[in-house]
């Protein structure tokens, strides 16, 4: 067993206090602190998280993919502070405020467009990604209900997809680890084949795989005529499903199929949005506009929880009526919180002033160069990249096809080995990935690559 890297007396004190009262997310608490280190963080600075003992950890996963421009980015911090002296919160029912209005205007102006389609014109706020997904699902269903199409009760989701942990979001997720226990509670979704290029048959291209998966989606539509209210997907990149990537062609076909069958397309860009895939939104790479676009995570630069669901006038209009039941009554106390909206506005300012997407192209190029030698590693079956995300698929045998047994917990060993070297890599199963804050510099990227190789080798040796 590796030593817990944060072992100063002060860090130890915080760890003890934490473990006596805090129940952590996505964690088997029994593994803390011996199998799984628990690292109390005192502060953040750029791409670094800094422990109470002064140890620095390179945040190569952007704190669950939320952080864009570095920890404590001063412009976002200042915007929140300014807003806090003016208005910290007001309910958004019956009231409004400048940050919520301006943010909605600006998001709509930036949202993906598609020739021949009326643009997205309305923004509904919620306060985290899963809540945003709930909103989109409920809106899609409720639209058809309001129009008297009460048979449209089914959602189509993709195999290996992930949309959050609330019951509605879990119902359209396909990651057994999160879903299995709660299965009896979940509405029954229809699952279409994933376009994941890693699952392509030998000799099949990514585009071929996308076509094949789209044929599977077409088949689902044929088998459930008039029953499907929406297809929900993560465009280009199934993140929690192991950073699996697909050809944009799939999005085009999904858009066409939704149109042909009168269903909505919900793009969950909670993780892919705000420049992660190389464009501001992943949908842009397919020239596709969804009917509902879910945003969160990077929306506030990683400072505060907020989500936004962008949708069309057509959908919005179906809720206008004398009856309250036809209205979309969904509400969260912190819907459109002014502090979070101010953080989001500051984030959009940075995109505008710093030419972030262009700068990221350079950073993504460096990541590509650093990742290239990993293709020769005998236990790396695949190295793939979409924009600012690089993933390494570990495999047991040199034939590169057999995964490590889950019980070997290679990912956990890699995680610990990287942490001990001051880098936060948090593999998804046996998929090690880089998804760093955009401020990461070349020296930090070089450290990341070097540490990744050492951690993979050590992790495999431990397993």
Nearer to ligand PMP, 163 or 253 (CB): 163
Nearer to ligand PMP, 128 or 452 (CB): 128
Nearer to ligand PMP, 122 or 332 (CB): 332
Cβ atoms of 130 and 305 closer than 8 Å: no
Question: What sign results for the dihedral spanned by CA atoms 165, 256, 204, 285?
Answer: negative
CB of 361 to ligand PMP, least distance (A): 23
Lookup result for tokens 């907020």: 306
Q: Supply 270's token pair.
A: 């909670």
Nearer to ligand PMP, 129 or 302 (CB): 129
CB of 117 to ligand PMP, least distance (A): 23
Q: Supply 100's token pair.
A: 């919520």
Distance CA 390, CA 348 (A): 24
Nearer to ligand PMP, 268 or 430 (CB): 268
List all residues 6 or more positions away from 379 whose beta carbon is below 8 Å from its beta carbon.
Answer: 394, 395, 396, 398, 456, 460
Q: Supply 145's token pair.
A: 């209900």
CB of 292 to ligand PMP, least distance (A): 13
CB of 214 to ligand PMP, least distance (A): 20
Position of minimal CB gap to ligand PMP: 129
**Eight-state DSSP code of residue 357:** H
Nearer to ligand PMP, 413 or 426 (CB): 426
Distance CA 302, CA 344 (A): 9
Distance CA 209, CA 215 (A): 10
CB of 129 to ligand PMP, least distance (A): 2
Distance CA 130, CA 267 (A): 13
| Torsion angle of C-alpha atoms 16, 20, 24, 29, degrees rounded to 10 | 90
- Length of the chain, in residues: 463
Nearer to ligand PMP, 233 or 342 (CB): 233
Nearer to ligand PMP, 161 or 248 (CB): 161
CB of 373 to ligand PMP, least distance (A): 29
Residues that bind ligand PMP (CB under 6 A): 128-130, 133, 162-164, 234, 239-240, 268, 270-271, 296
Lookup result for tokens 């009526």: 321
CB of 268 to ligand PMP, least distance (A): 5
Classify residue 110 by burial, with Cβ atoms within 10 Å: 0-12, 13-18, 19+.
middle
Residue 343, phi then psi, degrees to nearest 5: -65, -40
CB of 299 to ligand PMP, least distance (A): 10
Nearer to ligand PMP, 239 or 283 (CB): 239
Q: Supply 28's token pair.
A: 């088997």
Characterize the bridge pairing of strands 380-386 and 389-394: antiparallel
Q: What's CA 236's distance to the chain center, in Å? A: 11
CB of 165 to ligand PMP, least distance (A): 6
């Amino acid at each position: 067993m590796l030593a817990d890297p944060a072992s100063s007396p002060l860090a130890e004190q915080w760890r003890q206090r934490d473990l006596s009262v805090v129940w952590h997310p996505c964690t088997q608490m029994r593994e803390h602190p011996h199998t799984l280190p628990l690292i109390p963080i005192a502060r953040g600075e750029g791409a670094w998280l800094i422990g109470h003992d002064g140890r620095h950890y390179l945040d190569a996963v952007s704190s669950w993919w939320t952080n864009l421009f570095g920890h404590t980015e001063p412009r976002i911090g200042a915007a929140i502070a300014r807003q806090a002296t003016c208005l910290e919160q007001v309910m958004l029912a019956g009231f409004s405020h400048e940050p919520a209005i301006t943010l909605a205007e600006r998001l709509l102006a930036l949202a993906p467009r598609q020739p021949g389609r009326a643009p997205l014109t309305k923004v509904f706020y919620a306060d985290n990604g899963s809540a945003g997904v709930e909103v989109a699902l409920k809106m899609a269903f409720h639209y058809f209900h309001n129009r008297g199409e009460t048979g449209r009760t089914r959602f189509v989701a993709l195999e290996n997809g992930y949309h959050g942990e609330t019951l509605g979001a879990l119902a359209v997720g396909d990651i057994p680890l999160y879903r299995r226990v709660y299965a009896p509670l979940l509405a029954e979704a229809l699952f279409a084949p994933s376009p994941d290029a890693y699952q392509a048959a030998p000799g099949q291209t990514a585009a071929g795989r996308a076509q094949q998966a789209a044929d599977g989606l077409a088949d689902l539509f044929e088998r459930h005529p008039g029953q499907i209210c929406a297809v929900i997907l993560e465009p280009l990149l199934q993140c929690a499903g192991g950073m699996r990537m697909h050809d944009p062609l799939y999005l085009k076909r999904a858009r066409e199929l939704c149109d042909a069958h009168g269903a909505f397309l919900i793009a969950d860009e909670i993780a892919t949005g705000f420049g992660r895939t190389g464009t501001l939104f992943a949908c842009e790479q397919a020239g596709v506009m969804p009917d509902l676009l879910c945003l969160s995570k990077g929306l506030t630069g990683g400072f505060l929880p907020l989500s936004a669901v962008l949708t069309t006038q057509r959908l919005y209009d179906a809720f206008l009526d004398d009856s309250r039941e036809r209205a979309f009554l969904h509400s969260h106390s912190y819907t459109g919180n002014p502090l979070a909206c101010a953080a989001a506005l500051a984030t959009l300012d940075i995109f505008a002033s710093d030419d972030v997407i262009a700068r990221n192209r350079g950073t993504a190029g460096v990541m590509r160069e650093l990742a290239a030698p990993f293709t020769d590693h005998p236990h790396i079956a695949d190295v793939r990249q979409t924009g600012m995300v690089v993933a390494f698929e570990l495999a047991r045998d040199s034939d590169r096809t057999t995964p490590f047994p889950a019980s070997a917990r290679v990912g956990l060993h890699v995680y610990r080995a990287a942490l001990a070297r001051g880098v936060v890599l948090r593999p998804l199963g046996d998929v090690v990935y880089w998804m760093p804050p955009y401020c990461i510099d070349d020296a930090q990227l070089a450290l990341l690559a070097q540490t990744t190789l050492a951690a993979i080798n050590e992790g495999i040796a431990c397993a």
